Amino acid sequence: MFKKIIKGGNRKPSKSDANSTSLYGYNQAENRNLGSAPAPNVVVSHPSRGAVGAPNTQSGGAAAPMTTPPLGNMEPLPSFRDVPVVDRHNLFLQKLQICCFQFDFTDTMKSVREKEIKRQTLVELVEYIQTGSGKIAEHCHEEMIKMVGANIFRCLPPESHENIGQENAEPEEEDMYLEPSWPHLQLVYELLLRYIVSSDTDTKVAKRYIDHSFVLKLLDLFDSEDPREREYLKTILHRIYGKFMVHRPFIRKAINNIFYRFIYETERQNGIGELLEILGSIINGFALPMKEEHKLFLVRALIPLHKLKTVAVYHQQLSYCIVQFVEKDYKLADTVIRGLLKYWPVINCQKEVLFLGELEEVLEATRATEFQRCMVPLFRQVARCINSSHFQVAERSLFLWNNEHVVSLISQNRSVILPIIYEALERNVVGHWNQAVHGLTVNVRKMFMDMDSEMFQECQRHYEEKQAKTREVEQRRQLTWKRLADAASQG
């Protein structure tokens, strides 16, 4: 049964710097407090989910909060079809006022009638925007964004590990928090999405209210534990990025700030996968030659994301972004591969399997010149993986030879690569416990023999000489110990 966590208290606004000129700077831009009507207002903050009082302000503009009537006076309003066209703007505003009411969804029996009125009103607003009933008046833009903010911008509940006071506790699936107000919240998100994508929405007007402060608060909500909310946020932010070109540098910088905080401070953020999905599309649209700021983003944020212990949660999206960079600029292959080697897991075999899969995708987009720059450290690591006692790691590393492009790169540089991994192959043939790994090793060994029999025989000779010297050293060591033991017994 899902844990119900009562949401209470307000949160400190995050410190920010709206005047930062760096595209991927560390400081976030403005993050003013955002209110919800009619209850006291809160703001979501990345570093903490704590509770501190906040003043009552509204997002997306400095105008005063929309006035709402007392809850007991809530009555359903007529539908848009039942009023003349000239009165629809006023009716639109009245419906927005109703939707500013906040309810306690932890008690399903409380305010049932009012909740249903609000839900039905939200449905009508979504239909009104979706059907394109005409351009929205400018003051309606402002009031609608206020209503959206009053509903979605809120204090996120503490996560399960915070409730039990365990810093390193991993969240369990059954403890995942699902937003109890989702029946209303989903419709508010749907309304915002339809508003953004609508051809009737004037971008010049809308950008006054969907501003940097609004975007920052949307990004704060990516830390929600509810995957349904994060999915909506992902779609909405992507649409904002596509429609409001003026916000693009700011959005990239703000996402990068979240990554920095996740990597170097908190190591906790529920929406990393969704943010990486957005970035994957953004990276795909980068113009060439690639800007230096984008390359720094790769080195300082994307590659270090590999070191987190929770990388498996977002690795698929991260790998896609990394490969996009290499496909855009092949010269980045050496940087990426060396970055993977830097953060290569030592004792986590499941992470090793993920890294090997990503490595193959990167190599698929790597050219020979870049491959030659990193092949020595790369195949030293591959040799260690081949000899791994964890059969999945050994098996996945040997699967590299099933890739034609990788085999082509190896074949062109076999004089360097074969001496590095020959010993690892021989060890597997002689003593690896897993039969599947043994069979794959034999196949790779035969492949090298067919590539260059002379080189293979030369490596075999060196290996046998090394083994003979090792046996000789061992015999001398045993003889020395025997002499010491004999001397000790005679004494």
78-99: average pLDDT: 88
Confidence category of residue 377, pLDDT binned at 50, 70, 90: very high
Closest listed residue to residue 361, CA positions, set 337, 378, 339: 337
Q: What is the DSSP string of 125-176?
A: HHHHHHTT-SPPPHHHHHHHHHHHHHHH--PPPPPHHHHTT-TTPPPPGGG-
Over residues 439-490, the pLDDT tens digits come to 999 999 999 999 999 999 999 999 999 999 999 999 999 999 999 998 898 8
pTM passes above 0.85: no
113-133: average pLDDT: 89
Exposure of 293 by Cβ count < 10 A (0-12 exposed, 13-18 middle, 19+ buried)?
A: middle
> So what's the pLDDT on residue 132?
73
| Calpha distance 150→36 (Å, rounded) | 4
- Which domains, ranges and CATH numbers included, belong to the chain? 14-158+178-265 (1.25.10.10)
| Calpha distance 228→237 (Å, rounded) | 14
Structural contact between residues 398 and 442, judged by C-beta atoms closer than 8 angstroms = no
| Calpha distance 272→209 (Å, rounded) | 26
> So what's the pLDDT on residue 170?
52
373-380: average pLDDT: 97
Over residues 340-355, the pLDDT tens digits come to 999 999 999 999 999 9
Least confident residue range of 26-35, 123-132, 369-378, 472-481: 26-35
